């Protein structure tokens, strides 16, 4: 039976088998989420910062979908994050305080903006995309500042009152419900993102990232694929912003600031791009560093974070990454070639002097 199979059918079978292996949950992945769930009970006094880590992790996953898997560089990803935050806050203030409905509205509006701006992002090379994405975020930030009658301007959007999650769990001042809510949303969306990147659609995104001309030559609709993943990433970022607005019950112009986009880029630099868990691990490391250093040196903590990142990138980034990824491959069964190919093909934006 196999001897009579055509080469094309064998290739399809091999591709299906590869995607099937990628889609399997490894025990190390299960352990990761078990530990994450256990933090709900192990560190009740740290739920507020853990909630921030979960939100930053989701934000990083959204950027990784376009940077690590589609090769779209962005310095204005905070546009979708901030828009989602404002939509969720305004929705709770003027429509309904139901968290899930407000979160859906935040993701929907951010997705619409992502779809509308994706056609601009697809025009030009990496440097052009950087400028376009940065420009979109700057425009939204100025609009939020000028429309103070709606957004609160520099004073921020106040008076947000959230209802209980699922009508049962009231938000508390300790952040327990907020963290459980954010972690649940993060896990659900992570599972969806994992299915996307391990599907034929995700495989086509890798082809586009590696060689868009060859991908177009073999019949992959490059532009439609990029528009689709850019829209999905915008939805994820909008939901992350919505979570921040709902769990803090306050939205300021800070959600649209440039440092939001820069911070999430640094999170991916620390954790690694092209691998969804990189965004989550990077979020943990980045936020813990920020918390510890700001407690030790309140005035100079940004200097120390910058120094650590410079040393990480210039001195030990490759060696540390090789060791961490080597350990992770042994735990999850992922092939070395797949990880190395992902890292080697990830685009790095060049800055012209």
Answer whether residue 15 is part of any domain. Answer: no
Answer whether residue 351 is part of any domain. Answer: no
Q: So what's the pLDDT on residue 329? A: 58
Answer whether residue 97 is part of any domain. Answer: yes
> Exposed e or buried b for every residue in 218-241, given b needs 16+ CB within 10 A?
eebebeebbbbbbbbbbbbbbbbb
Q: So what's the pLDDT on residue 345? A: 47
Phi-psi region of 211 (alpha: psi -120 to 50; beta: other; left: phi over 0): beta
Cα–Cα distance for residue pair 120/135, rounded to 1 Å: 11
CA distances in angstroms from 25 to 21, 38, 319, listed in the order given: 9, 19, 27
Answer whether residue 149 is part of any domain. Answer: yes
Crossing angle for the helix pair 126-146 and 258-271, nearest 10 degrees? 140
> Exposed e or buried b for every residue in 284-317, given b needs 16+ CB within 10 A?
bbbbebbeebeeeeeeebeebbeeebeebeeeeb
Answer whether residue 352 is part of any domain. Answer: no
Answer whether residue 350 is part of any domain. Answer: no
Q: What letter would DSSP give residue 251? A: B
Q: So what's the pLDDT on residue 27? A: 81
Q: How far is CA 232 from the centre of its chain?
A: 11
Q: So what's the pLDDT on residue 76? A: 86
Q: Per the structure block, which two tokens stand in for 30?
A: 């299960």
Q: So what's the pLDDT on residue 54? A: 93
- Number of residues that make up the chain: 353
Across the chain, mean pLDDT equals 80
Q: Do 189 and 61 meet the contact criterion of CB atoms below 8 Å apart?
A: yes
Cα–Cα distance for residue pair 245/300, rounded to 1 Å: 28
3-state secondary structure of 169: strand
3-state secondary structure of 165: strand
**Residue found under tokens 């952040």:** 175
Answer whether residue 79 is part of any domain. Answer: yes
**Domain limits for position 329:** 25-345
Cα–Cα distance for residue pair 113/281, rounded to 1 Å: 28
Cα–Cα distance for residue pair 95/261, rounded to 1 Å: 29
List the Cα angle 258/260/265 in 5-degree steps. Answer: 100
Q: What letter would DSSP give residue 27? A: H
Cα–Cα distance for residue pair 80/58, rounded to 1 Å: 13
Q: So what's the pLDDT on residue 211? A: 81
Q: Per the structure block, which two tokens stand in for 63?
A: 């950027």
Those residues of the chain that have pLDDT short of 70 are 1-23, 124-126, 313-353
Q: Do 137 and 81 meet the contact criterion of CB atoms below 8 Å apart?
A: no
Domains in the chain, number: 1
Non-local CB neighbours of 119 within 8 Å, separated by 6+ positions:
227
Please, which residues bridge with residue 165 across strands?
169
Answer whether residue 144 is part of any domain. Answer: yes
Phi-psi region of 157 (alpha: psi -120 to 50; beta: other; left: phi over 0): beta
């Amino acid at each position: 039976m196999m001897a009579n199979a055509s080469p094309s059918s064998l290739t399809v079978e091999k591709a299906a088998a590869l995607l099937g292996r990628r889609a399997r949950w490894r025990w190390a992945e299960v352990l990761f989420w078990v530990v994450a769930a256990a933090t709900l009970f192990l560190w009740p006094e740290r739920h507020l910062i853990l909630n921030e880590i979960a939100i930053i992790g989701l934000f990083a996953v959204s950027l990784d979908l376009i940077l690590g898997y589609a090769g779209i560089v962005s310095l204005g990803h905070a546009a979708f994050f901030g828009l989602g935050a404002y939509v969720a806050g305004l929705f709770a203030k003027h429509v309904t305080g139901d968290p899930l409905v407000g979160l859906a509205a935040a993701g929907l509006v951010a997705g619409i903006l992502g779809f509308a701006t994706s056609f601009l992002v697809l025009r030009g090379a990496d440097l052009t995309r950087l400028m376009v994405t940065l420009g979109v975020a700057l425009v939204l930030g100025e609009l939020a500042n000028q429309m103070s009658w709606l957004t609160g301007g520099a004073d921020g959007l106040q008076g947000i009152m959230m209802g209980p999650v699922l009508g049962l769990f009231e938000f508390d001042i300790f952040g327990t419900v907020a963290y459980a809510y954010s972690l649940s949303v993060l896990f659900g969306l992570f599972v969806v993102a994992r299915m996307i990147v391990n599907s034929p659609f995700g495989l086509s995104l890798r082809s586009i990232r590696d060689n868009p001309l060859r991908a177009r030559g073999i019949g992959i609709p490059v532009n439609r694929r990029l528009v689709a993943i850019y829209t999905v990433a915008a939805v994820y970022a909008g939901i992350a912003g919505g979570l921040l607005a709902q769990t803090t019950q306050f939205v300021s112009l800070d959600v649209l600031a440039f440092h939001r986009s820069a911070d999430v880029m640094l999170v991916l630099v620390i954790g690694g791009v092209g691998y969804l868990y990189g965004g989550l691990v990077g979020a943990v490391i980045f936020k813990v560093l920020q918390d510890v250093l700001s407690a030790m040196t309140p005035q100079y903590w940004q200097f120390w974070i910058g120094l650590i990142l410079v040393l990480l990138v210039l001195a030990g980034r490759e060696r540390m990454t090789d060791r961490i990824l080597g350990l992770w491959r042994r735990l999850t069964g992922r092939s070395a070639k797949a990880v190395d190919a992902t890292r080697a093909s990830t685009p790095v934006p060049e800055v012209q002097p």
